[in-house]
């Protein structure tokens, strides 16, 4: 049975969406895949182009071993099969951003085969997305059309940069799932250090294959493997933000359902998402699709890897997000939700662990995910450029745990610390924010307040909840530094409750 949450109601009945994604992730590497030219953001036009990238006569590609290592690492992170033998193929087409007239890719024998990624849905449940393959390929250059009314300019800096294309199975069913899946892949790659995940710079982007079918047909497809149960797919190219992925899918699914409900049929085609208009538009149909004349690149030998080399990379892998989440739950007693929030960013998780050692982990988690995260966001920063040492958070929590300050005062302390006034202990000292646990001082304040408000003191006997007013007064009198538990106890005793 298809869950209701995965159904879309049309005029003529229920439909469901089926999606497969191709994620293009730029390999984090200082050099291109085959040329040794530098890779970097911010270089002037055509400053990072070798003769190989520019396709000069007699120039030959030589494979960058580091990029291969990064692909293997990524494959291991996706718990996928690493193919000991793979091969590079040429995808032939003419375009000014493609100097050789072909893109070197891996069609027939990719470096990474089948894998599975576990993705957490919004409701905390998990779903699996099958990975069909990960292959290495070259990126193309960039055309610039807005510098002149009559000419187009070519910038080849990006030409030849290594990309990993990660192809999923058609296991994604809702726009939310698609976003969660891309986020998960992005997180894994960032953990591995194989892609910086910067979607704004286009370093991670997705092609989304969307089709719709009648409710129930997806299950039939899953049972039989027969693709005819699924609808005709359209590929939305190069979507480069989570928001656009979700919007593009919603638009595209609606568009397809409307066509089908009007008795039409879907044409297999490549479409582009226009975020301004909020719609997808046809780029080219299957009939117009180019014949890429793929064939094995004769300039490159088959890529043969040794199992020992792969094992060494595997042994060196950092802890992956899933493992970290499970460990945070078991080791620190965090909820799945809290652990999930912490591990969503590797730097955040590391920060948490640095602060949580020997402290109340739940409390540390709250401070990290609430206060620290909010301040960073407000300053346009993230945990990788967090100015606040984890030790400060640890100390702050320690001060709360040992009743030196109250949780309420802690917020004030945090403000001072964030503004650079020193460590929490120094701030508490400097501003005299230490919690008053000296019962004598509290008793004195309580006595004074009761004496000044006899009528209210009498009323408390009738209405015990009114004690809150007294608590507030005592806290006010002590500048908020009184230990709330002590205040309560003393008040109760003095008021005869």
Binding mask 18-37 for other proteins (x = CB under 8 A): --------------------
Q: Does 63 bind other proteins (CB under 8 A)?
A: yes
Which is nearer to other proteins, 100 or 217 (by Cβ)?
100
Q: Which residues, 100 to 139, sit near other proteins by CB under 8 A?
A: 100-102
Which is nearer to other proteins, 10 or 55 (by Cβ)?
55
Number of amino acids touching other proteins (CB under 8 A): 28
Which is nearer to other proteins, 59 or 283 (by Cβ)?
59
Q: Does 61 bind other proteins (CB under 8 A)?
A: yes
Which is nearer to other proteins, 13 or 96 (by Cβ)?
96
Q: Does 276 bind other proteins (CB under 8 A)?
A: no
* Binding segment (CB under 8 A) for other proteins, from list 170-178, 293-301, 400-408, 409-417: 293-301
Which is nearer to other proteins, 98 or 442 (by Cβ)?
98
Least Å from the CB of residue 42 to other proteins: 24
Q: Which residues, 139 to 158, sit near other proteins by CB under 8 A?
A: 154
* Binding segment (CB under 8 A) for other proteins, from list 61-69, 232-240, 456-464, 474-482: 61-69
Least Å from the CB of residue 65 to other proteins: 12
Q: Both tokens of residue 223? A: 């049972």
C-alpha torsion sign, points 210, 213, 215, 220: negative
* Binding segment (CB under 8 A) for other proteins, from list 60-68, 194-202, 377-385, 443-451: 60-68
Q: Does 294 bind other proteins (CB under 8 A)?
A: yes
Q: Does 41 bind other proteins (CB under 8 A)?
A: no
* Binding segment (CB under 8 A) for other proteins, from list 50-58, 69-77, 188-196, 394-402: 50-58
The backbone torsions φ and ψ at residue 115, rounded to the nearest 5 degrees and listed phi first, read -155, 180
> Which member of 31, 37, 54, 195 binds other proteins (CB under 8 A)?
54
Q: Does 58 bind other proteins (CB under 8 A)?
A: yes
> Which member of 293, 326, 381, 444 binds other proteins (CB under 8 A)?
293
Which is nearer to other proteins, 34 or 414 (by Cβ)?
34
Which is nearer to other proteins, 304 or 347 (by Cβ)?
304
The footprint of other proteins (CB under 8 A) covers: 51, 54-63, 90, 92, 94, 96, 99-102, 154, 291, 293-295, 298-301
């Amino acid at each position: 049975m298809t869950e209701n949450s995965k159904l879309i109601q049309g005029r003529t009945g229920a439909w469901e969406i089926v999606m497969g994604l191709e994620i293009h992730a730029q390999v984090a590497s200082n050099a291109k895949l085959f040329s040794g030219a530098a890779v970097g953001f911010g270089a002037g036009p055509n400053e990072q182009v070798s003769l190989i990238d520019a396709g000069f006569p007699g120039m030959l590609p030589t494979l960058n071993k580091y990029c291969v290592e990064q692909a293997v690492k990524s494959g291991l992170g996706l718990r996928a099969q690493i193919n000991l033998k793979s091969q590079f193929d040429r995808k032939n087409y003419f375009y000014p951003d493609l100097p050789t007239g072909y893109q070197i890719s891996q069609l027939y024998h990719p470096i990474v085969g089948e894998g599975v990624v576990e993705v957490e849905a919004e409701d905390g449940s998990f779903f699996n997305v099958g990975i069909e393959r990960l292959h290495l390929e070259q990126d193309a250059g960039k055309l610039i059309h807005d510098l002149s009314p009559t000419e187009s300019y070519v910038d080849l800096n990006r030409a030849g940069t290594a990309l990993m294309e990660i192809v999923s199975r058609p296991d994604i069913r809702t726009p939310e799932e698609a976003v969660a899946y891309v986020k998960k892949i992005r997180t894994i790659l960032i953990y591995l250090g194989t892609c910086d995940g910067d979607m704004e710079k286009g370093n991670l982007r997705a092609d989304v294959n969307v089709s719709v079918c009648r409710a129930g047909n997806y299950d039939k497809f899953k049972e039989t493997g027969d693709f005819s149960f699924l609808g005709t797919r359209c590929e939305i190219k190069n979507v480069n933000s989570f928001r656009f992925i979700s919007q593009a899918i919603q638009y595209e699914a609606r568009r397809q359902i409307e066509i089908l409900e009007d008795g039409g049929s879907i044409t297999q085609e490549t479409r582009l998402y226009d975020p301004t208009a909020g719609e997808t538009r046809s780029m080219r149909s299957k009939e117009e699709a180019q014949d890429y004349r793929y064939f094995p690149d004769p300039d490159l030998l088959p890529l043969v890897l040794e199992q020992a080399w792969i094992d060494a990379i595997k042994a060196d892998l950092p802890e992956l997000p899933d493992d970290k989440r499970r460990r945070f739950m078991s080791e620190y007693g965090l909820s799945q939700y809290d652990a999930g929030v912490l591990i969503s960013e590797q730097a955040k998780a590391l920060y948490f662990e640095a602060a949580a050692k020997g402290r109340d982990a739940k409390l540390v988690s709250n401070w990290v995910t609430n206060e620290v995260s909010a301040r960073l966001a407000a300053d346009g920063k993230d945990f990788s450029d967090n100015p606040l040492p984890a030790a400060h958070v640890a100390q702050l929590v320690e001060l709360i745990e040992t009743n030196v300050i109250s949780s309420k005062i802690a917020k004030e302390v945090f403000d001072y610390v964030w503004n650079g006034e020193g460590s929490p202990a120094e701030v508490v000292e400097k501003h005299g924010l230490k919690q008053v646990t000296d019962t004598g001082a509290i008793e004195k304040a309580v006595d004074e307040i009761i004496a000044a408000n006899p009528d209210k003191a009498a009323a408390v006997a009738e209405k015990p909840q009114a004690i809150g007013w007294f608590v507030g007064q005592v806290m006010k009198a002590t500048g908020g530094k009184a230990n709330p538990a002590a205040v309560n106890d003393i008040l109760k005793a003095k008021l005869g409750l």
